[in-house]
Structure 1
Amino acid sequence: MDFRAAAPALARPVRVPLFVVAVVAAVVAVVMGFLFHGHTLGTELDESVYRTLHGSIEPSFAYGVAWVIGSAGDPLGAALIVVLLAFLVHRAGQTRLAVLVVAGPVVTGVVTTLAKPVAGRYINGDNLSYPSGHTAFVTAVGLIIGLFLTTRYGLGRIGGTAVVLGLALLCAAAMSWSQVSDRVHYLSDTFGGFCVAIALVTATATIVDAVIDRVNARR
């Protein structure tokens, strides 16, 4: 890959807004982890939302849609999405972002996996639930697609930030519906996964750019 002329992974117009949101998201994710430590039941809001959403997947078509969305966060589905997205981004010339396509979801997946036993929150018996790795993954994908579009179409700070966070939120909302309605996660688990992804992908993009800039400087 040629990184010398490649656009930054973290598009310049959205850096400051994303840094601010990422810091807030990281704090929220950690605080929620402490608050839910050792819990085996959802909050009143979690249970209320579950009862509302569970009825939305009773029709067979809606259940199928929920299953497809949930499968996107499974290992095989996630791997296929990452490979395809990395290929497309690389072909579009955004080589730094192509690195982030792989590094962002991997870092997010590792952290959410390690965080689950630390948070120690359970659902459906002894299944660790916080934070939601599935939601974190699709949030990372949405955020990266938003970064791609921001650079591709030269969006400014306001437009770029709206696209990046909007796509991340849209992807997270879809996965949250899938996971909560099927009682795989509590609503708060999916919000935690959303926050973790925002924080980690922003941090990973910053590191990717810093490392590549240093390598280019040495050349």
Structure 2
Amino acid sequence: MSTKSSRRISLSAIGLTLVGIGLCATGFAGNYGLRPADDEATWWGIVAGIGFATTFIGVMKIWLDLSIAAMANDPGGANKRERLQAQRAWQLWTFPLIAVVLLAIAVDPLLAFLSTGTNGLKLSDVSRIAMPVLYAWIVPMIVMGWDAYSKQNRRFLDDELSQSLRARAVTTGFVVLMIGVTAAFGLGLLKPELGVAAMLFALTLGGVTTGIRFAWLYREAGRDA
């Protein structure tokens, strides 16, 4: 791993954390002195909630950057292979859980969008709706080995066991995605806005299933060994 690449990744994680802290501070400051029932108080509470989620994601990414970079700089061998693969499995437990949390956060702005359209839709609302979809892509990318760390450590993470687990995990995720998209299509025929809402759930659950399935299979393979 080059110093330049590692530094760029760490700076992006730090930037995400700082943005999250800023949103938290803004939300709490804006909410100060308002009654909980006020619409404005609800809005500032949402800002604080987004900030908390963003901060959590940023901190997790900093930790992952540092731990994986330390592994990458350690001399090679079977021990390094096991640690990198265990780290990947840990990511594939954690990132799907974050995706589910972000999906829950996205429900309110999604329902507001479906009922009122783009009128009054704010950039923060768009971000909340888009975040689960982003993680729906990130998790399968880790499984497939398309992320930066997997490419840099391909000889440790692309062994025969990983290829077998990857095929099984992607197959399971594809089945879940097809079922979800089919259900979204059926709902869309009845009521288009329901189809759009269901599509968000289908995309997120397809990605989440792929990651969790891979992590579970890795855990079972470790038990068998």
* TM-score above 0.5, yes or no: no
Q: Which has the higher contact order (CA 8 A, sep 6+)?
A: 1
Q: Which has the larger radius of gyration?
A: 2
TM-score (normalised: structure 1): 0.33
TM-score (normalised: structure 2): 0.32
